[in-house]
Structure 1
Amino acid sequence: MYMMSEIAILENNTLTALGLRLILEELLPATVIRVFSSFEALIDDTPDMYAHYFVSTQIYFEHSNFFLQRRPKTIVLAAGEQPSLSGVPTLNFCLPQEKLVKSIMQLRNYGHEMTHHPVTTSPMPQQEHDLSPREIEVLILITKGFINKEIADKLNISLTTVISHRKNITEKLGIKSVSGLAIYAVMHGYVEADRI
């Protein structure tokens, strides 16, 4: 039986923690994301059950022995300037949303190279969710920032058809945000990360 992977966010700043949780839930709808405001709260839970830890710089330094033993699973959350942490990836959470999403994608690739598992350890579904060729064309144009009317003009289809395709894409993938669709498109090779 497949066990759902879980990710722990250790961050005492509520807005940072909830914002990251929201982004990760959009990107990884099958993953359980748990938020802890302190290291002690994590320890009171089952700390070794998590596939990955997104941890604030302060908590990381206060409990570095714990996280160094779990280095392939640890991502340090940094505000602005990235601290120098030998071999531990960092995520600058002060970036605009589009750049933050790209950074998470790069971390996924880094995690894959370092551990032969994606940073999320949630196996990426290999099925293509049965998107039609036209839906893939619409998806690519969405990720490039085109609005419905522009997509209709580019593909020579009606606005209603574009809206219908968008609805089908959202239902098939379970992803509602443009940033989430962009990540899906990058992960499945429909667009390159630097093209969105």
Structure 2
Amino acid sequence: MYTMRIAVITPHTLMNLGLKHLFQRYFDVTPALYNRADGFFNDTPEQFDAYILQPDLLVAYSDFFLPRKSKIMLLTTHCETATETFAPALPVHENEEAMLERIERFIEQLDRQSENLNHDLSPRETEVLKLVAKGFMNKEIADQLNISINTVLSHRKNLTAKLGIKTVSGLSFYAMMNGYISDIDNK
């Protein structure tokens, strides 16, 4: 059985412990707790399926968190409309029942995403997706991966079929939003 890996990153020890208690008691998940961002980033941050953090941390480390926005729940002092449109909010002043409902919806969303995220991409299709998203042309992808251009075209055709995305910009956006690449690098 797969256990979801969640990181809770706040400077507030009591908040961290309270969230850990809620996750353990109601969702049978033990989140990793971090009081400092440097501790989190020194501990292989890519390993987590979800991140619970405050908006200021999201802003400070946007290069890491923005590509993973679909895996983020923001801790807020109240439910702010702007925050809620970016990521699910977890207002810290809500009662326990309301918090549990929000957490449950977040976990259900993560489950749906994990079912849809992979789309059964092969490792080679994933490599091609990353290179397409970084702006490489078919010939450059073929050279980089030591495969023929026809094989690259076949992988791109498979990506289009599996993801339902036909454009380079669409594939790039998909790759960024799903954590395949952290930003669009120059070659």
Q: Say whether 1:73 aligns with 2:60.
A: no
1:36 to 34, 39, 45: 34
- Root-mean-square deviation (CA), in Å? 2.1
Q: Residue 4 and residue 98 in structure 1: after superposition, are their counterparts in 2 closer, same or farther (change >3 A)?
A: closer
User: 2:97 aligns to what SS in structure 1?
Assistant: helix
Q: TM-score, normalised by structure 2?
A: 0.54
In structure 1, what is the Cα distance between the partners aligned to 2:106 and 2:5?
17
* Alpha-carbon distance change, 6 to 113 in structure 1, aligned in 2, over 3 angstroms: closer
2:51 pairs, out of 38, 50, 53, with 53
* 1:110 to partner: Cα distance: 3.6
Unaligned 5+ segments in structure 2 are 117-187
Q: Is the 8 A contact 1:38 1:59 kept in 2?
A: no
Q: Which residue identity does 2:12 align to in structure 1?
A: N
1:72–1:115 Cα contact (<8 Å) kept: no
Alpha-carbon distance in structure 2 between the residues aligned to 1:23 and 1:101: 8
Distance 1:27 1:64, change over 3 A: same
Tell me the CA shift for residue 80 of structure 1: 1.3
Query: Which secondary structure does the structure 1 equivalent of 2:86 belong to?
Result: coil
TM-score normalised per structure 1: 0.52
User: For 1:16 and 1:83, how far apart are their aligned partners in 2?
Assistant: 22
For 1:154, the equivalent position in structure 2 comes to none
Q: Is the 8 A contact 2:73 2:89 kept in 1?
A: yes
Structure 1 distance, partners of 2:12, 2:87, is: 21
Identity of aligned residues (%): 19
In structure 2, what is the equivalent of residue 63 of structure 1? 61
In structure 2, the residue corresponding to 1:32 is in which secondary structure?
coil
Aligned partners of 1:77, 1:56: CA distance in 2, in Å?
5
Distance 1:104 1:20 in 2: 10
CA, structure 1 residues 35+70, in 2 after alignment: closer, same or farther (shift >3 Å)? same
Rounded Cα–Cα distance in structure 2 between residues aligned with 1:102 and 1:17: 18
Which runs of 5 or more residues in structure 1 are unaligned? Answer: 118-196
Partner of 2:9: 10
Q: Quote the residue 1:178 is aligned against.
A: none
